[in-house]
Amino acid sequence: MVSLYTKCSMRKYVILFIISCSIFLIHFLKAKHGIYGDGNGYYSLAHTLFFQRGLNFVPIYYSLSHFQGVSYEFSRVFWNTSKTVTGVFNNPWLIGTSLFWLPSFFVISILNFVFNLKLSMFSPFYEVGCGVTGILLVLSGLFLLESYLRHYFDKRVSSYTILSIFFSSQLFYYTSFEPALSHQVSFFLVCLFLFLSVKKRSNSIIAFAIGLMVGLLSIVRLGDVILLLPWMLLRFREWLSAKKYSYFILSLLAFCLSVIPQLLLQWGMYGNAFQNPYLQGKKGTLHLFTLSSIANHLFLFKGGFLVWSPLFLVGILGLMKMKRNRLILIILGIFTLLISSWEAQVPTGFGNRFFISAIPLIASGIAHFFKKYKKKAFLFSAACFIWNIFLLTRFYF
């Protein structure tokens, strides 16, 4: 029999889904498109894989380059599209996000066929499908994250933590206003990994799933692998020490299988399966981080992670008070240095979206804050919510 808490918990996510979808659709109707920035690159790839069954980007590039907006025509293709050595028009994005969006193309196409909707391949409904997929991924991630937190905190604290993360941080924007990016996929994968991390250690299915999650994350957002790699290496050490070699092999096999789509894309795009646009410097290059670059990403008023979402500053302080989370603090530190080395300035958008995938790791610190301070935690969370609304208003007006 389903418990009352489970029913209430599911109802909560249904409400969050309705809120997010409503905002996304209203925003979509106003802007006449629902995918922005880098999302256009992933959309181009998903669209081409689905409709062209290959890498013929000519149709979608032409459509996006002559996009009719609200007031004028403009191009949504902003990257170098010159032909590569294989004669394919360049698309320097990783394939992972596009793979997660492909099911929405199948669903919309089936509905189009069954109900004879007569949608063209460039119908905006396909963009809507990608946005709704992003919303589902974030909310599914939050559900898994809540399950993970309940291993260490009570039901009420875990639920309050999830609601605060959703409403009182930048995650609200990237779930409701701009859900079609790679960050939503990455967020889901990190949440799923944490959920699996507290499951039975001696389980071949879990071993395979862990390798799969790390592999998929590497073809969604390569740098975000830093968030999971230490845990995977620790698990490898445990398996090898316990002579459970089959788990090690299964996990490694899953990782290799999950990166095959990216290798095939690179082979078709560049004639070399190991020519990765990120590793080759075509999507940015690494430079030694500086105090200035670190401060920019964390504290710059124009998008600094901890300035735009101060809830996570409290979360980090909470992690510092919990001895079992020292590894998480080390991972977050290394991840911050990586981001600061990759890009000195905060990316455009609502706050610092580079840290979205790190939010699940900070959740335990926020839960500790709610557990220990209760009323003060509620007041601070409410203040963060008001701050979030203020920033949203300022961002748009």
Q: Does residue 8 surpass a pLDDT of 70?
A: no
- Helix H or strand E segment including 13: helix 4-31
With bands split at pLDDT 50, 70 and 90, how would you rate the model's confidence at 200? low
Taking the C-alpha atoms of residue 70 and residue 100, their distance in angstroms, rounded to an integer, is 29
- Evaluate whether 145 touches 191 at the Cβ level (below 8 Å): yes
Q: Does residue 4 surpass a pLDDT of 60?
A: no
Sign, CA dihedral 316-383-20-78, equals negative
Look up the pTM and report it: 0.95
With bands split at pLDDT 50, 70 and 90, how would you rate the model's confidence at 197? confident
Q: What is the mean pLDDT of the chain?
A: 92
With bands split at pLDDT 50, 70 and 90, how would you rate the model's confidence at 205? confident
Q: What is the reported pLDDT for 192?
A: 96
Q: Does residue 258 surpass a pLDDT of 80?
A: yes
More confident residue, 10 or 308: 308
Taking the C-alpha atoms of residue 367 and residue 318, their distance in angstroms, rounded to an integer, is 8
Q: Does residue 46 surpass a pLDDT of 70?
A: yes
Q: Does residue 1 surpass a pLDDT of 70?
A: no
Q: Which of 366, 335, 355, 148 is nearest to 228 (CA)?
A: 335
Sign, CA dihedral 111-113-118-121, equals positive
The four Cα atoms 196, 199, 205, 210 give a dihedral, to 10 degrees, of: 30
Q: Does residue 313 surpass a pLDDT of 50?
A: yes
318: its two tokens = 């909470």
What percentage of residues in the chain have a pLDDT greater than 70?
96
Q: What is the reported pLDDT for 31?
A: 92
With bands split at pLDDT 50, 70 and 90, how would you rate the model's confidence at 309? very high
Tell me: the pLDDT tens digits for 134-154? 999 999 999 999 999 999 999
Q: What is the reported pLDDT for 7?
A: 63
Give CA separation, 6 vs 1, 14, 281, 309, 371, in Å: 10, 12, 47, 29, 21
For 385, list phi and psi in degrees, rounded to 5. -65, -45
Taking the C-alpha atoms of residue 278 and residue 260, their distance in angstroms, rounded to an integer, is 17
Q: What is the reported pLDDT for 2?
A: 47
Q: Does residue 69 surpass a pLDDT of 90?
A: no
243 contacts: CB under 8 Å, gap ≥ 6 = none
By CB atoms closer than 10 A (0-12, 13-18, 19+), residue 115 is exposed
Q: What is the reported pLDDT for 286?
A: 76
- Evaluate whether 310 touches 168 at the Cβ level (below 8 Å): no
> What is the identity of the amino acid at 174?
Y
With bands split at pLDDT 50, 70 and 90, how would you rate the model's confidence at 344? confident
Average pLDDT over residues 154-174: 97
- Evaluate whether 309 touches 354 at the Cβ level (below 8 Å): no
Tell me: the pLDDT tens digits for 285-304? 778 889 999 999 999 999 99
Q: Does residue 276 surpass a pLDDT of 90?
A: no
Q: What is the reported pLDDT for 141?
A: 98
- Evaluate whether 77 touches 45 at the Cβ level (below 8 Å): no
Taking the C-alpha atoms of residue 91 and residue 84, their distance in angstroms, rounded to an integer, is 9
Q: Does residue 222 surpass a pLDDT of 60?
A: yes
With bands split at pLDDT 50, 70 and 90, how would you rate the model's confidence at 78? very high
More confident residue, 18 or 280: 18
> What is the identity of the amino acid at 89?
F
- Evaluate whether 278 touches 135 at the Cβ level (below 8 Å): no
Q: Which of 46, 20, 178 is nearest to 106 (CA)?
A: 46
With bands split at pLDDT 50, 70 and 90, how would you rate the model's confidence at 6? low
With bands split at pLDDT 50, 70 and 90, how would you rate the model's confidence at 376? very high
Q: Does residue 168 surpass a pLDDT of 80?
A: yes
